[in-house]
């Protein structure tokens, strides 16, 4: 089988991937969401990427342990070392307890994960469940690598070899984001324990050898990855912003803890950003686009998944209504083939044995016998090349329409490929793709009835009436699509 090649940010190069420990399988840690607000679409791109990675590893037959953390403490309102914790600030602003805030946004995040057909990790690891372990970890590195100031316990980055090697050329912008703290020995030094300001009681604070306070954000990922995966483990993921500060700091802690130069993970992988030129993709500034807002506008969430897959995870991806609408059309086109050829055939026969769920992925050892090795090897070569999903999609589309492939084989092939791409192609119906916008003032039946009236008006050459109906529907948020090649007579206006 084609070997897996992945881009390692640590070496800035493509490297052949092999598990460090074949018997344990592949161990992956992904930096998870900070649950003080809803995830925006950019955040969710990071998890479509990790899902593609973990699906690919599983598809290639590796046993997988995947941890995603939930940051419910310690992430400050900037990359600063002093100041407000994002969770505390959100709790104050909403007059709710931090625990309520964390529970609410964690649930919302997990709903996004389900809507995007992202597989659950082996474990969601919650930061506040690991405070004692974080204190133990800090105690072990404190003497040789840390110093205490009035504001907290700081990591001295000059005590480890090659600090910041992951970030590559020192990024001035990243350094500029770190507010100066009086007494810090080097600008890059960071808090691993933040003391509560004197006379101030925080909602989330714990006792420690350095006084009441809370852990610094970077500490949790070192502690939880080590606890659940051991060190070194195979792959650590996060958004590209983490390559500059969060991950170099995790690496420094890992080096201090092991007393070696090991970064803690074999591969460090980073997804590039989803960018929105209108500047709407900032979680801390608010006013951003959530997955739920797309669903409320009538867009199926898997259209967003497809939008992500259309770009390589290391490329910037531009978000716009037009790009999203184009991805939705592409998804509709794929689903239409399955709906018309597979589902309608099944409905016509009504024979339970023909139910589409009978088309299961073909196990690798049966590829040759099922005569699908050619197609699947091409697909595997593309996904194995640093998860090249944009190259996988045309291969999938070819399988959908290739007249030389017989239908039984076609649906098994789609099931096999969809294990990696996660577009739910065999279980989503055309009708599922048409989501009623939350603000819609008409229901689908009304729209269909108005379209029948319009057809009659056009047949009678009453174009004024036909136009008036189209305008009325437009006012209700429905775009009439005359002559749509996919046979959709209308869609919610985006
Ligand atoms: P946060 O909840 O802010 O800690 O971020 C969760 C994940 O989203 C992290 O891996 C970030 O690096 C990633 N991320 C943040 N903004 C974007 C963006 N615009 N595009 C892609 N990934 C992002
Ligand atoms: Zn992290």
Q: What is the 3-state secondary structure (H, E, C) of 224-263?
A: HHHHHHCCCEEEEEEEHHHHCCHHHHHHHHHHHHHCCCCC
Q: Which one of the ligands is nearest to 280 CA? A: 1
Q: Which residue has the tokens 């919650």?
A: 126
Ligand closest to Cα of 33 equals 1
Pick the ligand that lies closest to the CA of residue 43: 1
Closest Cα to atom 18, ligand 1: which residue?
A: 42
Between strands 478-480 and 317-318, the pairing is unpaired
262 vs 225: CA distance, rounded Å: 14
Instruction: Determine which residue's CA is closest to atom 15 belonging to ligand 1.
Output: 43
Q: How far is the CA of 52 from the centre of ligand 1 (A)?
A: 16
Q: How many residues does the chain have?
A: 494
Rounded Cα distance between 418 and 415, Å, is 5
Nearest CA to ligand 1 atom 6: 33
Which chain residues have CB less than 5 Å from ligand 2, an ion? 31, 221
The whole-angstrom separation of Cα 66 and Cα 123 is 7
| Residue 490 confidence (pLDDT) | 84
How far does the chain reach from its first CA to its final CA, in angstroms?
Answer: 43
- Delineate the domains of the chain, giving CATH numbers in brackets: 4-271 (3.40.50.620), 301-430 (1.20.120), 439-492 (no CATH)
236 φ/ψ angles, rounded to the nearest 5 degrees: -115, 130
Per-residue pLDDT of the chain (494 residues; tens, 9 = 90+): 779 999 999 999 999 999 999 999 999 999 999 998 899 999 999 999 999 999 999 999 999 999 999 998 866 655 555 566 777 788 888 888 888 989 999 999 999 999 999 999 999 999 999 999 999 999 999 999 999 999 999 999 999 999 988 998 555 445 445 667 888 999 999 999 999 988 888 888 999 999 999 999 899 999 999 999 999 999 999 999 999 999 999 999 999 999 999 999 999 999 999 998 876 666 666 666 999 999 998 899 999 999 999 999 999 999 998 999 999 999 999 999 999 999 998 999 888 888 999 999 999 999 999 889 999 999 999 999 999 999 999 999 999 999 999 999 999 999 999 999 999 999 999 989 888 777 777 887 888 899 999 999 999 999 999 999 999 988 888 888 888 877 788 887 77
Atom number of ligand 1 nearest to Cα 276:
19
**Closest residue to atom 14 of ligand 1, CA basis:** 43
CB-defined site of ligand 1, < 6 Å: 31, 33-34, 42-43, 45-46, 238-239, 241-242, 271, 273-274, 281, 283
Pocket test for ligand 1, best of 33, 37, 43 (most atoms within 8 A of CB): 43
**Cβ neighbours of 416 (radius 10 Å):** 23
From the CA of 125, the nearest ligand is: 2
Residue nearest to ligand 1 atom 8, measured at CA: 43
Token digits for 370? Answer: 């099922």
What are the residues facing 154 on neighbouring strands? 147, 191
Confidence at residue 446, expressed as pLDDT on a 0 to 100 scale: 87
Report how far ligand 1's centroid is from the alpha carbon of 228 (Å): 23
CA–CA separation, 89 and 286 (whole Å): 13
Separation of alpha carbons 399 and 81, rounded Å: 53
Name the residue of 37, 46, 78, 112 to mutate for ligand 1: max ligand atoms within 8 A of Cβ: 46
- Give residue 443 CA to ligand 2 midpoint distance, Å: 44
Q: How far is the CA of 239 from the centre of ligand 2 (A)?
A: 10
Strand 265-271 to strand 233-239: parallel, antiparallel, or no bridges (unpaired)? parallel
Strand 26-30 vs strand 64-70: parallel, antiparallel, or unpaired? parallel
- Looking at the CA of 38, name the nearest ligand: 1
CA nearest neighbour of 421 among 43, 31, 3, 117: 117
Q: Which residues contact 337 (CB under 8 A, 6 or more apart)?
A: 400, 401
Helix axes 407-421, 41-59, angle to 10 degrees: 120
Q: Are 35 and 287 in contact (CB under 8 A)?
A: no
Looking from the CA of residue 71, the nearest atom of ligand 1 is: 4
**422 C-alpha vs ligand 1 centroid, how far in Å?**
21
Distance 213 CA to ligand 1 centre (A): 26
**Cα dihedral 239, 243, 246, 251 in deg (nearest 10):** 130
Peptide bond preceding 232 in cis form (omega within 30 of 0) = yes
Closest C-alpha residue for ligand 1 atom 7: 43
| Ligand (nearest to CA of 239) | 1
The whole-number pLDDT of residue 168 equals: 80
Ligand 2 mean position to 448 CA, how many Å? 49
- Give the position, in ligand 1's atom list, of the atom nearest the Cα of 44: 8
Q: Which atom of ligand 1 is nearest to the CA of 272?
A: 21
The rounded Å distance from CA 279 to ligand 1 centre is 14
Strands annotated E in 52-151: 64-70, 123-126, 146-149
pLDDT reported for residue 369? 92
Question: Residues near 6 by Cβ (< 8 Å), separated by ≥ 6?
Answer: 14, 15, 17, 235, 267, 269, 386, 387
Which positions ≥6 away from 107 have C-beta within 8 Å?
none
| Gap from CA of 50 to ligand 1 centroid (Å) | 12
Q: Candidates 34, 37, 42: which one to mutate for ligand 1, based on the most atoms within 8 Å of Cβ?
A: 42
């Amino acid at each position: 089988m084609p070997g897996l090649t992945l881009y390692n940010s640590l070496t800035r190069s493509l490297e052949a991937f092999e598990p460090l420990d074949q018997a344990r399988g592949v161990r992956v840690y992904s930096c998870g969401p900070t649950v003080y607000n809803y995830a925006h679409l950019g955040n969710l791109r990071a998890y479509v990427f990790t899902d593609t990675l973990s699906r690919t590893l599983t598809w290639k037959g590796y046993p997988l342990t995947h941890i995603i953390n939930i940051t419910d403490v310690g992430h400050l309102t900037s990359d600063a070392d002093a100041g407000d914790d994002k969770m505390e600030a959100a709790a104050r602003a909403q007059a709710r307890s931090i625990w309520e805030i964390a529970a609410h946004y964690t649930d919302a995040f997990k709903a996004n994960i389900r809507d995007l057909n992202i597989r659950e990790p082996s474990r969601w690891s919650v930061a506040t469940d690991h405070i004692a372990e974080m204190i133990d970890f800090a105690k072990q590195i404190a003497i040789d690598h840390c110093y205490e100031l009035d504001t907290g316990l700081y990591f001295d980055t000059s005590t480890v070899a090659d600090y910041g090697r992951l970030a590559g050329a020192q990024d001035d912008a990243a350094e500029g984001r770190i507010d100066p703290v009086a007494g810090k020995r080097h600008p890059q030094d960071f808090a691993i324990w933040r003391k509560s300001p004197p006379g101030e009681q925080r909602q989330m604070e714990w006792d420690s050898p350095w006084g009441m306070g809370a852990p610094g954000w970077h500490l949790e990922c070192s502690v939880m990855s080590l606890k659940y995966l051991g060190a070194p483990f195979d792959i650590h993921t996060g958004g590209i912003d983490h390559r500059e500060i969060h991950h170099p700091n995790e690496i420094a802690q890992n080096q201090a803890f092991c007393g070696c130069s090991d970064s803690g993970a074999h591969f460090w992988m980073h997804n590039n950003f989803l960018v929105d030129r209108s500047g709407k993709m900032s979680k801390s500034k608010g006013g951003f686009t959530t997955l739920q807002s797309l669903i409320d506008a009538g867009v199926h969430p898997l259209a967003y998944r497809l939008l992500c897959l259309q770009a390589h995870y290391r490329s910037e991806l531009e978000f716009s209504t037009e790009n999203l609408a184009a991805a939705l059309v592409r998804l509709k086109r794929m689903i239409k083939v399955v709906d018309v050829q597979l589902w309608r055939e099944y409905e016509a026969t009504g024979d339970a044995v023909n139910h589409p769920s009978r088309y299961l992925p073909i196990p690798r050892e049966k590829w040759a016998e099922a005569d699908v090795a050619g197609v699947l090897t091409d697909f595997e070569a593309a996904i194995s090349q640093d998860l090249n999903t944009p190259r996988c999609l045309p291969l999938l589309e070819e399988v959908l329409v290739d007249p030389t492939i017989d239908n039984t084989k076609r649906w098994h092939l789609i099931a096999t490929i969809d294990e990696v791409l996660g577009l739910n192609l065999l279980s989503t119906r055309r009708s599922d793709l048409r989501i009623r916008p939350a603000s819609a003032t008409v229901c689908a039946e009304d729209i269909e009835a108005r379209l029948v009236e319009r057809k009659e008006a056009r047949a009678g050459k009453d174009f004024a009436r036909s136009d008036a109906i189209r305008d009325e529907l437009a006012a209700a948020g429905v775009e009439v699509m005359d002559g749509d090649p996919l046979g959709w007579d209308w869609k919610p206006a985006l």
